[in-house]
């Protein structure tokens, strides 16, 4: 059975920011398109294999409830519920993604 992919508003904003940064700041619209499409393709594999992403654990070894798939330097963090895969954030891998995912803003 194929799973549904659902992007949060934050994940969609993350993808827009990635596109804008690479396209406008780095002046490389082709790389922006390739990067965002690569992220979307990596996420799309979760339709068939939702548990294929690596798990995210806290430093004490307890599961955070998140998994991630990676494309290049970017990580798409997601949760699985029944036949739905919820993409919550897409974050540059060198950032403090645990703080970003679990901060109480």
Residue 101: what pLDDT?
A: 93
Closest CA to 38 of 9, 11, 76: 76
21 within some domain: yes
**What's the confidence (pLDDT) of residue 105?**
53
Tokens of 50: 């939702």
In a domain, 85, yes or no: yes
- What CATH number does the domain containing 88 carry? 3.30.2310.20
Structure tokens at 86: 């919820």
- Domain total of the chain: 1
Q: Is residue 59 part of a domain?
A: no
Does residue 105 fall inside a structural domain?
no
> How far is 32 from 22, CA to CA, in rounded Å?
5
Domain contains 103: no
Contact 91, 97 (CB under 8 A): yes
pTM summary value: 0.94
Rounded CA-CA distance 78/80 in Å is 7
Tokens of 9: 């508003």
**Is residue 100 domain-resident?**
no
Confirm whether 104 is domain-assigned: no
Give the domain range for residue 50. 4-54+64-95
pLDDT per residue rounded down to tens, the chain (105 residues): 799 999 999 999 999 999 999 999 999 999 999 999 999 999 999 999 999 999 999 989 999 999 999 999 999 999 999 999 999 999 999 999 999 999 875
- The residue written with tokens 């690596």 in the block is 54
SS3 56: strand
Specify if 101 maps to a domain. no
């Amino acid at each position: 059975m194929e799973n549904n992919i659902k992007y949060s508003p934050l994940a969609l904003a993350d993808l827009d920011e990635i596109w804008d940064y690479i396209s406008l700041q780095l002046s490389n619209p082709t790389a922006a398109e390739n990067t965002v499409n690569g992220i979307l393709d990596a996420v799309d594999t979760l339709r068939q294999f939702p548990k294929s992403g690596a798990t995210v654990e806290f430093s004490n070894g307890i599961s955070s409830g998140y998994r991630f798939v990676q494309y290049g330097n970017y990580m798409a963090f997601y949760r699985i519920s029944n036949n739905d895969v919820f993409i919550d954030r897409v974050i540059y891998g060198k950032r403090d993604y645990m703080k970003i995912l679990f901060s109480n803003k």
